[in-house]
């Protein structure tokens, strides 16, 4: 019997075991979705602390309740491990590891490569390997397949490979893993059939012709957002000079029932996907002698936004209060890359703090979901900074505040009452302008 038929029969018999490699913002929701359908899940992570946390019933993420992890454990549908040999128990290995950029904005596939090198010695006949991490077209076949075939097994004969990009949106109450369609691509019929059978357990699936097409689909989804965010960021700058409120313009424009999708400006772009994915295509395009003009122009606009925000703060402090930024006390409100989550991957807030310190400001931050800054790749020097205590006495000490993230559980009127200058990058204080408009600057 072929490996595909054996695999599909195992699913039909209810014996499928899914292995999830990388138990972070993508891997854990994936594990929970399978367990919710009574599929046994084996989670693998290189961090012993992360494995111990999960095996103790703690999710470690604000948007995933501890009770969900505890339930999976109690039902015997989940366990986490650091022992790579345990992955031989799994029929499908779903890889959800980081794919960042290096300091030159080139793809860093070191996590994908090290994962493949790690599992190749434990790969067995009949398994399916699926990459979920965002990457450039060709990764599955050109990077992963040669490494995995060092096992002596042949892709398409002894095991199958597929690509199915993650579509997580942490903190979005309208969607979860089980309600978001999954794109699947594989370079042979067996791989597509096996991957579809696995993901059909938890989601509606969309099949495309091959892995390269699926890899490109993920990039297109996020490049679309990257370019449109850059467009509204640039329009905000233009409209400021014309004394036009960009947020009012967008709210009016989105009443058109067709042909328009609202994007909003901000202090920069954060999150693992949108900040990184466009450069994966840029790098791959150069390999083919092509330039990605729109993508690079959008990058130029978006990456300049943090410095523009601080420049605006400097101007307003000088004009309104005759104060220099150097030596002033500045509060950054919101560290997460978007509202109501504890995820600070690639957050522009870190760059804002860095720039403020460059100007000699005394900087503090407040974020109700992030009590302390962990070690980060781009700004390790900020590790250990702690969120301030939210009291009137503490707030009165600041000369200015920059609202970088519009969390819902912040008493913003306290800022208006206690701090003389507020740089609002998210239009968070739209309802406070009548009373405190002399303090608020939209930027």
Nearest to 166 by CA among 157, 158, 174, 175: 175
Cα distance from N-terminal residue to C-terminal residue, the chain: 64
pLDDT tens digits in sequence order for the chain, 443 residues long: 699 999 999 999 999 999 999 999 999 999 999 999 999 999 999 999 999 999 999 999 888 899 999 999 999 999 999 999 999 999 999 999 999 988 888 899 999 999 999 999 999 999 999 999 999 999 999 999 999 999 999 999 999 999 999 998 877 888 888 889 999 999 999 999 999 999 999 998 889 899 999 999 999 999 999 999 999 999 999 999 999 999 999 999 999 999 999 999 999 998 878 888 899 999 999 999 999 999 999 999 999 999 999 999 999 999 988 999 999 999 999 999 999 999 998 999 999 999 999 999 999 999 999 999 999 888 999 999 999 999 999 999 999 999 999 999 999 999 999 999 999 999 999 999 999 999 999 99
Q: Which two tokens stand for residue 75?
A: 């039902």
CB-side neighbour CA atoms (13 Å) of 235 = 16
Is the CB of residue 116 less than 8 Å from the CB of residue 159? no
pLDDT at residue number 1:
64
CA 119, CA 128: separation in Å to the nearest integer?
A: 12
pLDDT at residue number 105:
84
CATH homologous superfamily of 234-442? NAD(P)-binding Rossmann-like Domain (3.40.50.720)
CA 98, CA 434: separation in Å to the nearest integer?
A: 45
Question: Residue 7 belongs to what H/E stretch?
Answer: helix 3-12
CA 182, CA 197: separation in Å to the nearest integer?
A: 12
The CATH fold of domain 3-209: Rossmann fold (3.40.50)
The CA-based angle 235-240-241, given to 5 degrees, is: 105
Q: What is the b/e burial string over 205-219, where b = at least 16 CB atoms within 10 angstroms of the residue's CB? A: beebebbbebbbbbb
| 273 is an active site residue | yes
Please check whether the two domains, 3-209 and 234-442, share a CATH topology.
yes
107 phi/psi in degrees, rounded to 5: -55, 135
Is the CB of residue 339 less than 8 Å from the CB of residue 406? yes
Query: Where in the chain are the domains?
Result: 3-209, 234-442
């Amino acid at each position: 019997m072929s490996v595909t038929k054996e695999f599909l029969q195992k699913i039909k018999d209810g014996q499928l075991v899914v292995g999830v490699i990388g138990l972070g913002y993508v891997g854990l929701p994936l594990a929970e979705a399978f367990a919710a359908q009574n599929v046994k899940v084996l989670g693998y992570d290189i961090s012993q602390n992360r494995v111990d946390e999960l095996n103790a019933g703690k999710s470690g993420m604000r948007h995933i309740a501890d009770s969900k992890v505890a339930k999976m454990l109690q039902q015997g549908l989940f366990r986490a491990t650091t022992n790579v040999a345990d992955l031989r128990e799994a029929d499908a290995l779903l890889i959800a590891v980081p794919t960042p950029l290096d300091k030159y904005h080139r793809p860093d596939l070191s996590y994908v490569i090290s994962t493949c090198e790690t599992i190749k010695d434990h790969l067995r006949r009949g398994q399916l390997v699926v990459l979920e991490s965002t990457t450039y077209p060709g990764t599955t076949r050109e990077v992963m397949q040669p490494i995995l075939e060092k096992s002596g097994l042949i892709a398409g004969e002894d095991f199958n490979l597929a690509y199915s990009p993650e579509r997580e949106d942490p903190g979005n109450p309208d969607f979860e893993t089980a309600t978001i369609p999954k794109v699947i691509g594989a370079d042979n019929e067996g791989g597509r059939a096996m991957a579809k059978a696995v993901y059909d357990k938890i989601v509606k699936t969309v099949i495309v012709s091959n892995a390269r097409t699926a890899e490109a689909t993920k990039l297109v989804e996020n490049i679309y957002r990257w370019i449109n965010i850059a467009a509204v960021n640039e329009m905000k700058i233009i409209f400021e000079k014309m004394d036009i409120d960009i947020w009012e313009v967008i709210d009016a424009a989105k009443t058109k029932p067709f042909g328009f999708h609202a994007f909003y400006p901000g202090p920069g772009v954060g999150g693992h996907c949108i900040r990184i994915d466009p450069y994966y295509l840029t790098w791959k395009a150069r390999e083919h002698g092509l330039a990605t003009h729109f993508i690079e122009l959008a990058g130029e606009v978006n990456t300049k936004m943090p410095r523009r925000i601080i420049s605006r703060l400097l101007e307003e402090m000088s004009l309104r209060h005759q104060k220099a930024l150097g030596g002033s006390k500045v509060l950054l409100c919101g560290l997460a890359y978007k509202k109501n989550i504890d995820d600070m991957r690639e957050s522009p807030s870190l760059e804002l703090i860095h720039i403020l310190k460059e100007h000699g400001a005394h900087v503090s931050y407040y974020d109700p979901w992030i009590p302390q800054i962990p070690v980060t790749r781009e700004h390790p020097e900020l590790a250990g900074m702690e969120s301030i205590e939210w009291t009137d006495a503490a707030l009165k000490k600041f000369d200015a505040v920059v609202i970088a993230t519009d969390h819902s559980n912040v008493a913003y009127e306290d800022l208006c009452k206690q701090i003389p200058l507020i740089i609002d990058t998210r239009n968070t204080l739209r309802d406070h302008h009548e009373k405190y408009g002399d303090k608020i600057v939209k930027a």
